[in-house]
Chain A
């Protein structure tokens, strides 16, 4: 069992990583800082909850994720920076013939079952996510990683539900095309 001061130092060692993660999701340095601060305090208070089975970073990221979701749900503010929605899906037209049928039908992906396959799939996904535009990636992560509802995402980004669905559609279509190259 680590001494309290050791644990404190270990937590501080993760601060930069957590701040990067929170800033990526929230795009607001102050809110990100607040969430990280709350996470580190919660971790200190709940040290007993850390069983050492997952890495400290994984454990902290799990707490931080909840803090970020809470922060987004709590915020009643008007979006400070309403984004310009990306709602053009014409880039995917070439996947379909004029009657709307696949020209190149999706393949059956093998389910990543072993731990190794899962980590390979996640690595491929991360590489593909990096190719999305920042806006599209952000909407996608809010929905699929943070588990926020469409209405919450609309409010946070200052876009309509329809815009939101289209952005998520774009993200999914682009990610599956990218993964189709790297995962079969």
Chain B
């Protein structure tokens, strides 16, 4: 009798639990899991929007991805962007946060200045950058030109070369395009990392710095190594993960600079742009889905790496 009553209570509790989590579960399925499953399925087809039917093409889309030279360029562009932008935007974010944290006055002013690019619409910023990078009237080349014929020219062979052969076409040159995109990415992204690091720095225990001082730590570098950097460990893992995912997702800069063609010689043909081009512009949904699946795989690997790091270094 008691046992059956307990069973009833347990069952009721279980039902209530399911009922309460149902809205979240349903939403998660509808907006997250089902689209992923559909995308995975579509990546094995040649589906195109508007067509009455589609054929299963097996791994043909993936084979194209791994063999065609335009996709090889896509991987090169994407990984170049990630490998350059992530370490630099994380490093600059940390540096800016440490500098701002050491200030007594004007903290908020600097925070605002560094955070402005994050808040600004990138399309508008891209137009500003386009003007600045303009080969003839851009402020950058104008500034470089003033160095021609001076001591700087004799010390800097690169400048000397361009003084004679004309200033670089920053956005139009295959050699520079992806680096310019990287530069804008860093400029735009490091303010966000700075804010995350500033939040991380507030959680560093003040007394640890005092303990370090008593223990004979004299230089700022040693203090950073002994106290600040270990304490920022969890923040760093998070910042790197976020930066990686954001770097894989880069799209708007390229779309703003090169509405067609993803840069000279497809040198800035990053994954997101490829998904957009194939899946939306050319209506090759199957192909777009295949790139999407690959993209999701990369992001998942980063997330798993982050989980592993976070679980490995648990302090206090």
**Do A and B make up one complex?**
no
